Amino acid sequence: MNLSDARPGQVVRIGRIADARTRDQALRFGLAEGTEAVCQQALARGPVVLSRGALQVAIGRRLADRITVEAVPRRRGRREG
């Protein structure tokens, strides 16, 4: 699935980021490919907000369409981030 399909509260593992510049910036932010993050919010046809620890990043809808993610099942008592 793509990041744009993520629902608020869902934990996702980031797969492939198509754009090279976005990949570099994601590495700086700490949202590299393979990282687990929580979808905080998904604005209707707007950006998706991802969080990891105290970090929150907003990703435009079109960009979120080009980032593949994998849903991570939430285990009971699991901590966010």
Partner 1 sequence: MALRRHHLHGRYEVTARRGEIRTGYELTGLPPGARKIVLAGNPNTGKSVFFNAFTGLYVDVSNFPGTTVEVSSGRLGRDVVVDTPGIYGVSSFNDEERVARDVILTADVVVNVVNASNLERDLFLTLQLVDMGLPIVVAVNMVDEAERLGIHIDFARLRELLGVPVIPTVATRRQGLDIVRGSLDGARPGRRDPLVDDLAARAGELTGAASTPADRAEALLMIEDDPQVLEEFGGRPAGRREEVYRRRRERVDGLVAAVIRRAKPRLSAADALSRLTLHPVWGGLLLAVVLFGLYELIGVLAAQKVVGFTEDTLLRGYYEPWVRRLLAPYLAAGGAAEAFITGEFGLLTMTITYVVGLLFPLVVAFYVGMSILEDSGYLPRLATLVDREMTRIGLNGRAVIPVILGFGCVTMAIITTRLLGTSRERTIAVALLALTIPCSAQLGVIAGMMGGSGGLAFGLYVGAIAAVFVASGTILNRTLPGVSSDLFIDLPPLRLPRAGNVLQKTWAKTVMFLRDAGPLFVYGSLVISLLRVTGWLEDIQGFLAPLTVGWLHLPREAATAFIMGIVRRDFGAAGLAALALDAAQRVTATVTITLFVPCVAAVMVIFKERGPLQALVIWLSSFAVAFAVGGLVGRLAELLL
Residues that bind partner 1 in the complex, under the rule CB under 8 A: 20-25, 27-30, 32, 40-41, 43-47, 49, 52-63, 79
Q: How many residues in total does the chain contain?
A: 81
Cβ distance to partner 1 smaller for residue 53 or 74 = 53
How many CA atoms lie less than 13 Å away from 64 in the CB half-sphere?
22
User: What 8-state DSSP symbol labels residue 74?
Assistant: P
Least distance from partner 1 to the Cβ atom of residue 24, Å: 6
Q: Residue 38: helix, strand or coil by DSSP?
A: strand
Least distance from partner 1 to the Cβ atom of residue 56, Å: 4
